[in-house]
């Protein structure tokens, strides 16, 4: 600040520079100078100081007025602050802001603002505002003509509202601080960012899904026009590689060149426009597998025809290589079948075991219960004197007798299911022609037994029983009758 003498000299210099003789005469007048010094003394006693920076030439004042007028249209509140003294004046065009009861003028801007921060600034932004509304900080940020800007949330009507603060240095001592409502801008930005994020998410999902497919067609179902796309794995994006006017006609032509003949009819029917439209009325996608030449190599591929829920005019036809998958499925199925066969097979004889017999028994009982069973007979067989053979000659000889018994049954019953259900017990299910010829087949076993008796070979005692739909409610009753007849046959064979 300048004392009265220095300030008076500066006023004289200004009058001389402007060649304003009238003002200069007054400044040189003794009575005027005496009054001027008295006024400055009173201001000094009151602790008030007149800053020469507030005396602005008319031309510059007009410019400042235009600046302020422009700013007030962009900001709902503007403060004119002397950054050195703290003297300030505020103007507001916003009723909600006026309800905050913030001082609009005063002698210490930084003190007054800091006092109000806890009441009018959103809690999470208060520390940030305490840093900003600091004299040294604001001087630094607005040096060299810099415009300082920051965002925070103001509590308008108790609601956190996004606002922007802009500080502009007009002179070495004068700063204009404007506060503008930024809520709509922030909301638009958030919406935009969410849209970008959503689109990026969809893009990433599309890339992830499309990695399984080596090509995809985007087909206009109204015009039949199409675009073909592939994944650019290097740049991680989907690229257009071809287009055409008639997807369905072009597909027929290409199918005859590249689709295996055995799969061609199925493929052509599936991708016909009529079938696609009909099928997608009741489901969202169609899938078929077929064999196709890819780079001269025959491979299994899968075609997915996908109805776009948000686009009723277009359909996607996506093709992926499933050859490895098919190979693995085949290997897996073979392994499962091998394990299933192993679980159902008798280790010694190689025919079906008791496990599989129980499965078949359940199936037959189910058919008996629902009345769908067809005519059949069961044959119960038992090796005569196997225990004696094991005890006398050892189990190796006994095992050979069991295998010989299996061979007899295989020779006689060529089309029937044969099970080894115990050490020396076998069960045979007769159906079809062997059911019709069951008596002749049983006579054949009996003839083999007579010859084996003479040669001291394996003897198979057998008895059979037919299913009677009028009395039999399950398989056990049929087996019991066959078992009874088998024991009767055993006795007869021992008497030979």
pLDDT in the model for residue 79: 85
Question: Has residue 173 got a pLDDT over 50?
Answer: yes
What is the value of pTM for the model shown? Answer: 0.41
pLDDT in the model for residue 2: 43
Question: Has residue 123 got a pLDDT over 70?
Answer: yes
pLDDT more than 70, % of the chain: 81
Q: How many CA atoms lie within 13 A of 215 on its CB side?
A: 10
Question: Has residue 29 got a pLDDT over 50?
Answer: yes
The encoded tokens of residue 72 equal 């007030």
Residue 135 makes CB contacts below 8 A (sequence gap 6+) with 83, 86, 110
Question: Has residue 388 got a pLDDT over 70?
Answer: yes
Question: Has residue 91 got a pLDDT over 70?
Answer: yes
Q: How many CA atoms lie within 13 A of 178 on its CB side?
A: 21
* Phi and psi torsions of 164, nearest 5°: -120, 135
Is-same-fold flag (58-181; 212-327)? yes
pLDDT in the model for residue 400: 95
CATH code 3.40.50 for 212-327: no
Question: Has residue 10 got a pLDDT over 50?
Answer: yes
* Confidence band, pLDDT 50/70/90 cuts, at residue 1: very low
pLDDT in the model for residue 54: 42
DSSP for 114-136, written as a single string: HHHHHHHB-GGGHHHHHHHS-HH
Q: Stretch 1-23: mean pLDDT, rounded?
A: 67
- Partners of 90 in beta bridges: 79
Distance of CA 227 to the CA centre of its chain: 25
In whole angstroms, what is the distance from residue 7 CA to residue 2 CA? 6
pLDDT in the model for residue 419: 97
Contact criterion met (CB below 8 Å) for 381 and 462: yes
Fold of 58-181: Beta-Lactamase (3.30.450)
In whole angstroms, what is the distance from residue 355 CA to residue 363 CA? 13
Q: Which of 40-44, 192-196, 335-339, 487-491 has the highest mean pLDDT?
A: 487-491
Helix extents (H) in 121-246: 126-132, 135-141, 183-210
* Confidence band, pLDDT 50/70/90 cuts, at residue 17: low
The encoded tokens of residue 61 equal 């004042």
pLDDT in the model for residue 495: 80
From 178-182, 323-327, 451-455, the region with the lowest mean pLDDT: 323-327
The domain limits of the chain are 4-50, 58-181, 212-327, 345-495
From 84-98, 213-227, 269-283, 460-474, the region with the lowest mean pLDDT: 84-98
In whole angstroms, what is the distance from residue 486 CA to residue 313 CA? 74
Give the CATH superfamily of 345-495: Reverse transcriptase/Diguanylate cyclase domain (3.30.70.270)
Helix (H) or strand (E) holding 215: strand 215-220
- Partners of 377 in beta bridges: 430, 466
Contact criterion met (CB below 8 Å) for 314 and 214: no
């Amino acid at each position: 600040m300048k004392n009265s003498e220095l300030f008076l000299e500066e006023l004289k210099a200004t009058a001389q520079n402007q060649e304003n003789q009238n003002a200069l005469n007054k400044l040189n007048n003794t009575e005027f100078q005496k009054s001027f010094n008295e006024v400055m003394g009173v201001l000094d006693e009151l602790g008030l100081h007149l800053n020469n920076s507030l005396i602005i030439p008319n031309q510059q004042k007009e410019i400042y007025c235009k600046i302020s007028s422009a700013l007030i249209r962009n900001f709902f509140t503007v403060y004119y602050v002397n950054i050195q003294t703290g003297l300030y004046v505020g103007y507001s065009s916003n009723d909600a802001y006026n309800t905050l009861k913030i001082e609009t003028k005063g002698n210490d801007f930084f003190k007054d603002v800091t006092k109000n921060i806890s009441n009018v600034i959103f809690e999470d932004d208060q520390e940030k505002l305490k840093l900003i509304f600091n004299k040294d900080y604001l001087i630094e940020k607005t040096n060299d003509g810099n415009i300082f800007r920051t965002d925070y949330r103001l509590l308008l009507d108790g609601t956190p509202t996004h606002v922007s603060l802009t500080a502009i240095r007009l002179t070495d001592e004068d700063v204009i601080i404007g506060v503008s409502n930024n809520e709509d801008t922030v909301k638009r930005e958030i919406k935009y960012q969410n849209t970008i994020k959503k689109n990026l998410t969809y893009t990433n999902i599309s890339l992830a899904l499309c990695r399984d497919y080596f090509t995809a067609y985007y087909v206009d179902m109204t015009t039949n026009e199409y675009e073909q796309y592939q994944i650019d794995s290097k740049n991680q994006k989907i690229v257009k590689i071809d287009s055409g006017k008639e997807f369905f006609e072009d597909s027929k032509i290409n199918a005859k060149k590249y689709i295996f003949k055995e799969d061609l009819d199925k493929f052509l029917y599936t991708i016909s426009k009529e079938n696609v439209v009909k099928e997608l009325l009741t489901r969202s996608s169609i899938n078929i597998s077929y064999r196709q030449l890819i780079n001269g190599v025959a491979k299994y591929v899968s075609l997915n025809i996908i109805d776009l829920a948000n686009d009723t005019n277009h359909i996607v036809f996506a093709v992926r290589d499933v050859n490895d998958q098919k190979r693995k499925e085949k290997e897996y199925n073979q392994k499962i079948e091998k394990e299933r066969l192993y679980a159902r097979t008798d280790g010694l004889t190689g025919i079906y075991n008791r496990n599989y017999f129980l499965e078949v028994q359940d199936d037959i009982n189910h058919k008996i219960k629902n009345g769908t069973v067809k005519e059949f007979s069961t044959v119960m067989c038992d090796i005569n004197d196997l225990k004696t053979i094991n005890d006398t000659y050892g189990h190796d000889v006994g095992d050979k007798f069991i295998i010989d018994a299996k061979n007899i049954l295989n020779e006689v019953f060529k089309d029937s299911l044969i099970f080894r259900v115990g050490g020396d017990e076998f069960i045979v299910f007769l159906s079809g022609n062997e059911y019709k010829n069951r008596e002749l087949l049983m006579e054949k076993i009996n003839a083999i037994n007579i010859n084996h008796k003479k040669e001291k070979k394996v003897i198979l005692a057998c008895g059979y029983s037919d299913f009677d739909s009028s009395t039999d409610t399950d398989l056990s009753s049929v087996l019991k009758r066959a078992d009874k007849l088998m024991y009767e046959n055993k006795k007869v064979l021992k008497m030979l």
